[in-house]
């Protein structure tokens, strides 16, 4: 990882964690337990890739620090909600997340469901507040784009396809490469896409700039997912902080089962190069985004 990226990741992660802690306070009232579970699931650990992408692109368009941090926190809240719900027994049934007991293990299932619901709704409350941006049209675009990325055409839809594929996988009727690409584009790609676009929305960047970022995010998101599948097979369990080998055990089709290890690695590298090529409309201001590609390809967790 480049030194510039290392320093920026450290600084931006700390800033977003401070903002998240402010946006999700500890409260003494009876409902304080749901705030506690929200804080538990958002404040410790995680690579903070999505908020980093929001902050790095916001820097390219001279967006105010408060606007960028609030938007980055909203995206991380949606991401953390998805992890909390994904770990539930009715979904992926995982007991560990980010090296700690999953939310429903630390608290209980009902609290984890509520904490996920509350993270999702709080994210939109944060985006809709005037302190996120003075222009209501910008706030409305943020809300609408994040809703589309997280909802049934995006992450939730992708999760549905994934769950159905898992059932079919048991009967050896899993997805092929194009269906799995579409599923991941919905399940993880759309939120990564929003993260790369949010800074441009906040900074009112012109459409061709947004398109370049969208194309970059598309390839980055897919490379991220292929690496995720590779880590599920080859990763170091001590560094992963979650259960490994579940996809294989469930008989699920992954990029690795469909392409094999070597072709999956090649594909991730090619997507990384393609992602960088979409940034040619930018100069130095996109250097962190270029560095992120290497980080995503080389990540160990
Ligand atoms: C429950 C609606 C709903 C959706 C769940 C995103 C998701 C959909 C499930 C997560 C399960 C999973 C392992 C997906 C594969 C890629 C992915 C999103 C990994 C987790 O993201 P990272 O690696 O996690 O960025 P950290 O902890 O670093 O933030």
Q: Say how far apart CA 274 and CA 100 lie, in whole Å.
A: 35
Q: Are 225 and 185 in contact (CB under 8 A)?
A: no
Nearest CA to ligand 1 atom 4: 82
How would DSSP label each residue in 222-286? Answer: HHHHHHHHHHHHHS-HHHH-S--SHHHHTT---HHHHH-HHHHHHHHHHHHHHHHHGGGG--GGG
Distance 146 CA to ligand 1 centre (A): 16
Identify which of 80, 86, 93, 72 has the alpha carbon closest to the alpha carbon of residue 120: 80
What pLDDT, on a 0 to 100 scale, did the predictor assign at position 271?
98
DSSP for residue 29: S
Q: Which of the residues in the chain have pLDDT under 70?
A: 169-173, 240-243
Residues 274-295: pLDDT tens digits?
999 999 999 999 999 999 999 9
Nearest CA to ligand 1 atom 14: 188
Ligand 1 lined by 188 (C-beta under 6 Å): yes
CATH of the domain at 114: 1.10.600.10
Residue of 112, 188, 241 to mutate, ligand 1, most atoms within 8 A of C-beta: 188
Range of the domain at 128: 3-298
Report the 10 Å Cβ neighbour count for 186.
Answer: 23
Ligand 1 lined by 156 (C-beta under 6 Å): yes
Ligand 1 lined by 119 (C-beta under 6 Å): no
Ligand 1 lined by 98 (C-beta under 6 Å): yes
| Residue 99: burial class (beta carbons within 10 Å; 0-12, 13-18, 19+) | middle
What pLDDT, on a 0 to 100 scale, did the predictor assign at position 170?
60
What pLDDT, on a 0 to 100 scale, did the predictor assign at position 173?
60
Q: Tell me how many domains the chain contains.
A: 1
Residue of 82, 100, 295 to mutate, ligand 1, most atoms within 8 A of C-beta: 82
Ligand 1 lined by 85 (C-beta under 6 Å): yes
Q: Say how far apart CA 281 and CA 209 lie, in whole Å.
A: 8
Find the helix or strand (DSSP H, E) in which 100 lies. strand 100-101
Find the helix or strand (DSSP H, E) in which 96 lies. strand 96-97
């Amino acid at each position: 990882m480049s030194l510039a990226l290392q320093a920026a990741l450290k600084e931006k992660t700390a800033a977003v964690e401070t903002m998240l802690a402010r946006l999700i306070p500890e409260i003494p009232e009876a409902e304080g337990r749901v705030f506690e579970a929200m804080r538990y699931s958002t404040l410790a650990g995680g690579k903070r890739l999505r908020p980093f992408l929001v902050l790095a692109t916001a820097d390219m368009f001279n967006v105010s620090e408060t606007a960028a941090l609030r938007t980055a926190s909203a995206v991380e809240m949606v991401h953390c909600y998805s992890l909390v719900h994904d770990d539930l027994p009715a979904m992926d049934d995982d007991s560990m997340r980010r090296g700690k007991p999953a939310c429903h293990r630390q608290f209980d299932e009902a609290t984890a469901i509520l904490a996920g619901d509350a993270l999702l709704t709080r994210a939109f409350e944060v985006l809709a507040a005037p302190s996120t941006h003075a222009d209501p049209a910008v706030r409305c675009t943020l809300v609408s784009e994040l809703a589309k990325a997280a909802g049934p055409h995006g992450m939730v839809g992708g999760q549905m396809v994934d769950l159905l594929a898992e059932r079919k996988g048991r009967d050896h009727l899993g997805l092929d490469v194009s269906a799995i690409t579409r599923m991941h584009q919905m399940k993880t790609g759309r939120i990564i896409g929003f993260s790369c676009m949010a800074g441009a929305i906040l900074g009112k960047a012109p459409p061709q700039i947004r398109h370049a970022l969208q194309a970059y995010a598309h390839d980055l998101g897919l490379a991220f997912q292929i690496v995720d599948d590779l880590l599920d097979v080859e990763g170091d369990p001590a560094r992963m902080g979650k259960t490994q080998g579940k996809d294989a055990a469930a008989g699920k089709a992954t990029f690795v089962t469909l392409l094999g290890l070597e072709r999956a690695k090649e594909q991730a590298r090619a997507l990384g190069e393609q992602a960088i090529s979409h940034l040619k409309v930018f100069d130095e201001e996109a250097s962190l985004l270029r560095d992120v590609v290497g980080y995503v390809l080389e990540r160990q967790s």
